[in-house]
Amino acid sequence: MSLPPILSRLRLPVIGSPMFIVSGPDLVIAQCKAGIVGSFPALNAREKDGEPIQLDAWLTRITEELDRHNQANPDNPAAPFAVNQIVHRSNARLERDLEICVRHKVPLWITSLGARPEVNEAAHSVGGVVFHDIINNTFARKAIEKGADGLIAVAAGAGGHAGMQSPFALLQEIRGWFDGPVALSGAIATGRAILAARAAGADLAYIGSPFIATEEANAQPEYKQMICDSGAEDIVYSSLFTGVHGNYLKQSIRNSGLDPDQLEHADASSMNFGQGSSKPKAWSSIWGAGQGIGAISEVRPARAFIDQLGEEYAAARSALA
Ligand SMILES: Cc1cc2nc3c(=O)[nH]c(=O)nc-3n(C[C@H](O)[C@H](O)[C@H](O)COP(=O)(O)O)c2cc1C
C-alpha cells in the first residue's frame, strides 16, 4: 500500500472531513497548519447575486495562508487541503466549481454522491488526487472504474450521510481487490481509533463530528455544546431530513418539536443540491453528528484537539508494540 506523495508526510494519518455549513477556511487552515488534511464542501462558499465568487476568494485565502505558513516553518509544513464536490445531478454549480478548483490547482478532491469520470479528469489535469466516498463495495468498485484514485469508506456511525455497514466488513471487502489509498469514516474521535482504522486496513482516518466542537467551526454555540454533552445513544439514523439516511443529534430533533424515535421516512428523490444544500429550510436546526462524539467534552481550538489525537495515537502505538 502506498499513499500518493501529497499524503505520505502527514503529521497524523487523518483527513478532517468536509461538513455542510460547518467547514470553512478558518477550520481548514487550522487543520492543515496542525498537520492533518483540512477540507470543505465547495457548496459552503456562497455569494449573493452580483457579489464576487466566494469559492475563488476562499481558495485564494487558504492557499496564501498555507504558503505563508510554509515559508515561515520549513521544518513543519502544512498538510494539503481538499475540496469536496457533491457530484449529484441537482448540483447546478458543479461545472463552475470544477473550473475554479482547476484554476487553483486544488491538491485533493473529495467527491460524493455519484462518481463521474469528467470530475476525475478535471482533477488529474492539474495533478490533483481524487478520493470518492462510498458506503458499500459495489459503489467502491464503480468509483475506481470511473477513475478515482482512492476511496473513503463511510461506515456505520458516521456523521452526515452515513453507511450501514460495520467498518470491519466494509474494509475487508474493499481490501479484497483494492490496494490503493483508503480512508475510513465513521465515529473516529481518538488516537486509539485512528490506529484501529489503520490496523483494520485503512491508510487514513476521516474525522468530522469532533471538529464541530472547535472554535474555528462555523456552528452555533448551542450545536457545539450539544456535541460536548452527547454520546452514541443520543444519535438517530433517519432519512427524513434529506431523503438519504444520515445520523443526527436526537436533542436537536426534539427541539424542533419532533420525536426522534418516531420519524417518518423520506425517499432519495427529495434530494436537491440546486440551492447549495439538500436540506429544506424547515430542517435548518436539525444538527448532524456521528456516534463518536462521546469522546468530546469541551469546545477547543482545532489544534488542541489534533495535538491530543497525536499524543493518544503515539501512546496507543507503544501500548500495542
Ligand atoms: C454536520 C455534518 C455535515 C456533513 N456534510 C458533508 C458534506 O457536505 N459532504 C460530505 O461529503 N460529507 C459530509 N459529512 C460527512 C463527513 O464528511 C464524514 O463522512 C463524517 O463526518 C465522518 O464521521 P464522523 O462525523 O463520525 O467523524 C457531514 C458530516 C456532518 C457531521
Mean pLDDT of 257-262: 92
pLDDT greater than 60 at residue 203: yes
- pTM of the full structure: 0.95
What are 57-73's pLDDT values in tens digits?
999 999 999 999 999 99
How confident is the model at residue 270, as a pLDDT?
A: 63
How confident is the model at residue 116, as a pLDDT?
A: 86
How confident is the model at residue 243, as a pLDDT?
A: 86
pLDDT greater than 80 at residue 253: yes
Tell how far the Cα of 253 is from the centroid of ligand 1, in angstroms: 18
Q: Tell me how far apart the alpha carbons of residues 268 and 264 are, in angstroms, rounded to a whole number.
A: 13
Minimum mean pLDDT among 47-56, 166-175, 245-254, 309-318: which range? 47-56
What are 163-199's pLDDT values in tens digits?
999 999 999 999 999 999 999 999 999 999 999 999 9
What are 123-133's pLDDT values in tens digits?
999 999 999 99
Express as a percent the part of the chain with pLDDT over 70: 95
Residue that has been written with the C-alpha cell 480512508 in this structure: 183
H-helix segments, the chain: 25-33, 54-72, 94-103, 117-125, 137-145, 167-175, 191-199, 221-229, 250-255, 302-320
Cβ atoms < 10 Å from Cβ of 310: 18
Tell how far the Cα of 65 is from the centroid of ligand 1, in angstroms: 25
Nearest residue (CA) to ligand 1, atom 19: 185
How confident is the model at residue 59, as a pLDDT?
A: 98
* pLDDT tier, 46 (very low <50, low <70, confident <90, very high otherwise): very high
How confident is the model at residue 125, as a pLDDT?
A: 97
Nearest residue (CA) to ligand 1, atom 23: 158
Tell how far the Cα of 74 is from the centroid of ligand 1, in angstroms: 32
Nearest residue (CA) to ligand 1, atom 29: 160
With contact defined as beta carbons under 8 Å apart, do 268 and 243 qualify?
Answer: yes
Residues in contact with ligand 1 by the CB-under-6-Å rule are: 17-20, 22, 41, 84, 112, 133, 154, 158-160, 185-188, 206-209, 288-290, 292
Residue 121's nearest CA partner among 139, 95, 140 is 95
Domain positions in the chain: 5-219+297-320, 221-291
For 14, residues 6+ apart whose C-beta sits below 8 A from its C-beta are 36, 37, 194, 204, 205, 206, 207, 306, 309
Tell how far the Cα of 160 is from the centroid of ligand 1, in angstroms: 4
How confident is the model at residue 113, as a pLDDT?
A: 83
Tell how far the Cα of 70 is from the centroid of ligand 1, in angstroms: 28
pLDDT greater than 90 at residue 115: no
More confident residue, 80 or 92: 80
If you average pLDDT over every residue of the chain, what do you get? 94
CATH fold label, 5-219+297-320: TIM Barrel (3.20.20)
Express as a percent the part of the chain with pLDDT over 90: 83
Mean pLDDT of 9-17: 96
Tell how far the Cα of 167 is from the centroid of ligand 1, in angstroms: 16
What are 217-249's pLDDT values in tens digits?
999 999 999 999 999 999 999 999 988 899 999
Q: Tell me how far apart the alpha carbons of residues 254 and 15 are, in angstroms, rounded to a whole number.
A: 31
What are 21-37's pLDDT values in tens digits?
999 999 999 999 999 99
Q: Which atom from ligand 1 is nearest to the alpha carbon of 210?
A: 27
Mean pLDDT of 196-214: 98
pLDDT greater than 60 at residue 276: no
For 282, residues 6+ apart whose C-beta sits below 8 A from its C-beta are none
Q: Which of 15, 17, 110 to mutate to test the pocket of ligand 1 (most atoms within 8 A of CB)?
A: 17
Q: DSSP labels for 250-270?
A: HHHHHHTT--TTSPPP--GGG
* pLDDT tier, 278 (very low <50, low <70, confident <90, very high otherwise): low
Give the CA distances from residue 153 to residues 230, 233, 299, in Å, rounded to whole numbers and listed in that order.
Answer: 24, 23, 27
How confident is the model at residue 266, as a pLDDT?
A: 82
Q: DSSP labels for 94-148?
A: HHHHHHHHHHTT-SEEEEESS--HHHHHHHHHTT-EEEEEESSHHHHHHHHHTT-
Residue 153's nearest CA partner among 189, 131, 185 is 185
